[in-house]
Amino acid sequence: MPKVTANDLIEHFNLTLLSGEDGLYRAITTSDISRPGMEMAGYFTYYPAKRLQLIGRTELSFFQQLTQQEKQERMEKLCTYDTPGIVISRGIEAPDELLAASQRTGVPIMSSATTTTRLSSQITNFLEARLAKSTAIHGVLVDIYGIGVLLTGASGVGKSETALDLVRRGHRLVADDSVEIRQEHGTTLIGRAPELIQHLLEIRGLGIIDVMTLFGAGAVRPFKRVALVINLELWDQTKAYDRLGIEENTMKIIDTEVPIYTIPVRPGRNLAVIVEVAAMNFRLKRMGINTAEKFSERLTDVIEEGEQDY
């Protein structure tokens, strides 16, 4: 499982640690952030203690109106052994009661000069990216006319060669051989290459080539949303392949269903052109233009007209 700690937040956002050094490596398990306004008022019945707590000017201005006993009680309840950390925005000075409670329970107290709303958005995006579900798929990811196309298939079927031809035609390589995919923002699949093999392409008989060095920086990109999967397989004469494209099959990656086309491979077929057209046709479908359905409707009209003539 992905893991994020308060120490990661300090390093990434350049936060200042004020107290609670013992809890720097507590795991943050959710991207949800809590602003403990109700808790400042004394309502802890549904206190989400396992979330990162973000305190801003509103919460602290109310806190200053409490009695000394109430301040100590609220801060002791706020700093539990499950709380992964508390961040104070706008560079506001942390209350002494909060620092004392954090030392007892080991809750790291961090400070940032950033405004509360902006800091909440930045930390949420960071946590969603780091805590997102992920997987690795054997294939090639290419950006074709803005569509992230994942080429899959058995080893040696021609995925890398097809990608090389697509790069020569002006498209961009994202990853070859192994594609790391994260599910971010609900159902968005973001694919990228492992750091070790970024910009590299393996061509059998030729070896490993550096696409960025050969074709320039415009021929690669670091990541891309996976929108379409094209599975390449050797031509099977006994198998009936889709010839109209009316039915749309899907492939499940993590928790997201992605459209998938199966393209048979045999000598003489220009796979790069076929994949390129498949991406353009997919783009048309997303714009509401479905050629297969239009053809089916025209065919139905012709058949009905023929029946009326009889």
Could you list the active site residues? 138, 159, 177, 243
Q: Is 306 annotated for ligand binding?
A: no
Check the annotation: does 156 bind a ligand.
yes
Q: Is 240 assigned a ligand-binding role in the annotation?
A: no
Q: Report the residue count for the chain.
A: 310
**Cα–Cα distance list, 253 to 70, 182, 218 (Å):** 50, 10, 28
Q: Is 268 annotated as a binding residue?
A: no
For the residues of 96-150, what is the DSSP string, one character each? Answer: HHHHHHHHHHT--EEE-SS-HHHHHHHHHHHHHHHHSEEEEEESEEEEETTEEEE
67, burial (CB in 10 Å: exposed 0-12, middle 13-18, buried 19+) = exposed
Is 159 labelled a binding residue?
Answer: yes
Angle at 203 between CA 199 and CA 207, to 5 degrees: 85
Q: Is 93 annotated as a binding residue?
A: no
- Spatial distance between the Cα atoms of 142 and 176, rounded to a whole number of angstroms: 9
- Is 248 flagged in the annotation as binding? no
In eight-state DSSP terms, residue 100 is H
- The CA distance from 287 to 7, in Å, is 45
Q: Per the structure block, which two tokens stand in for 108?
A: 């790291």
Question: Are the C-beta atoms of residues 8 and 130 closer than 8 Å to each other?
Answer: yes
102 is in an annotated binding site: no
Please name which of 285, 301, 287, 304 lies closest in space to residue 246, comparing C-alpha atoms. 285
CB proximity list for 302: less than 8 A, separation 6 or greater: none
Torsion of CA 199, 202, 207, 212, to 10 degrees: -20
| 157 marked ligand binding residue | yes
For residue 36, give both structure tokens: 């403990």
Annotated binding site for ATP: 153-160
Annotated binding site: 153-160, 202
Annotated binding site for Mg(2+): 160, 202
